[in-house]
Chain A
Amino acid sequence: MALDGKRLRDLGLQSERLLMPTKGPSNFEEEVNDLEQKVGLTTLEKAVAWAQTNSMWPDTFGLACCAIEMMSIVASRYDIARFGMEPFRGSPRQADLLIISGRVSHKMAAPLRQIYDQMLEPKWVIAMGACASSGGMFNNYAIVQSVDKIVPVDMYVPGCPPRPEQLIEGIVRLHEAVKAGVPPAYELRSVAK
């Protein structure tokens, strides 16, 4: 592989995380590095994780306002096709990633669980927005206060609605976590498995 232990910065990559010369890698990156050491994936597992992250196809599960911002990451400016995620599958049986974008009412909770169950392992869930992460501003009788009461969640993306860049950050962190060896949430969390 072309990297051979060189830092990305030495190869001319000036991504946001490398822009602060006095600051080292972020907490998340340090933890991911540690995890990689501890989990110790085999080369084959690493290859599988690489393949999974680079074509993690989402399911069209747009519920409310966050769905509109999710649509805009598919559009040309915030293009997630560069992450391999352009084909939003209509059928959950063909999807890997469930981006729950929007508020989940109690009436919708049953279809949500059904969609989640229809997905095949390995599957990941991103709770996009404040309403999916925690119930958001709707602390009332109608909204499920966080979808992790119903499905196990891998990544919470806050915001109301989160900017497309925020959602892409969440997706990229999920990819990094998967490549580091973090198993999908249904293996970690015992709730709603």
Chain B
Amino acid sequence: MTDFGAVPGLVELIDAHGETTIVVTRERLADAAAHLREEHGFNFLSDITAVDYLGWGDAGVSGYIGTPAGRDLNTPMTQGYQALPQAKPKRFAMNYHLLALRATRPERVRLQTWIDEGEAVATLIGVWPTADFHEREAFDMMGVGIDGHPNLKRILLDDDWDGHPLRKDYPLGGEPVRFSDAV
């Protein structure tokens, strides 16, 4: 396990499902990115995903009742416990999926930062030029502001589109289907 303790702006390190998530503050994001590229060799940015957590935990969902190995249906009282989803610090999360592309010991990590409505993240084009299109998509679909992006235009929707479709308060749209409640 690589030691990520020296990443600037580090808030938390999460290890789940075999993946490491490095949570950093919004202000130190660019420094953290540069540090990861220079010191730890994460030279490849796979993906930038923006997630909107508006309404997280409102629907009283319960967790997966069971174990990975399967359950014996016919044995009563073998349920697991129910869980409610953990509360999130802010509304939006920006996830940067990084890859250390090397022959020996390639590694993947997720760099995560939390922002509120109206806050912006710094552009990472200087660190990984491939961030260009991904950041434009995050802006287009989620309305996440990117500071310092040289070409911040909408990429997937019309230039004059109103709103950011992947936000949770944006409706799905489309036409109502008769006799069908399902979408």
Contacts and interface: CB of A to CB of B under 8 A. Distances in A.
Interface of A: 106-107, 135, 138-143, 145
Interface string B148-165: 000000000110000001
Contacts of A143: 174
B165 A141 contact: yes
Given A107-B158, A138-B174, A142-B173, 13 more contacts: A106-B158, A135-B175, A139-B172, A139-B175, A140-B174, A141-B170, A141-B171, A141-B172, A141-B174, A142-B165, A143-B174, A145-B174, A145-B175
Nearest to A145: B175
Interface of B: 157-158, 165, 170-175, 177, 183
Contacts of A141: 165, 170-174
B161 to A, nearest CB: 8
B158 A139 contact: no
Contacts of A140: 172-174
Nearest to A146: B175
A48 B157 CA distance: 44
10 contacts: A106-B158, A107-B157, A107-B158, A135-B174, A139-B177, A140-B173, A141-B174, A142-B157, A142-B165, A143-B174
Main SS class of interface, A: loop
A37 to B, nearest CB: 36
Given A145-B174, A145-B175, A139 B157 contact: no
A96 B174 CA distance: 31
Nearest to B173: A141
A124 to B, nearest CB: 26
Q: Which of the listed residues B165, B170, B173, B183 has the most CB atoms from chain A within 10 Å of its own CB? A: B173
Contacts of A138: 174
A149 B170 CA distance: 24
B183 A139 contact: yes
A138 B172 CA distance: 10
Contacts of B157: 107, 142
Q: Which of the listed residues A135, A138, A142, A143 has the most CB atoms from chain B within 10 Å of its own CB? A: A142
A142 B175 CA distance: 11
Contact of A139 (B165, B170, B174): B174
Nearest to A134: B175
A128 B173 CA distance: 23
Contacts of B183: 139
Nearest to B175: A145
Nearest to A107: B158
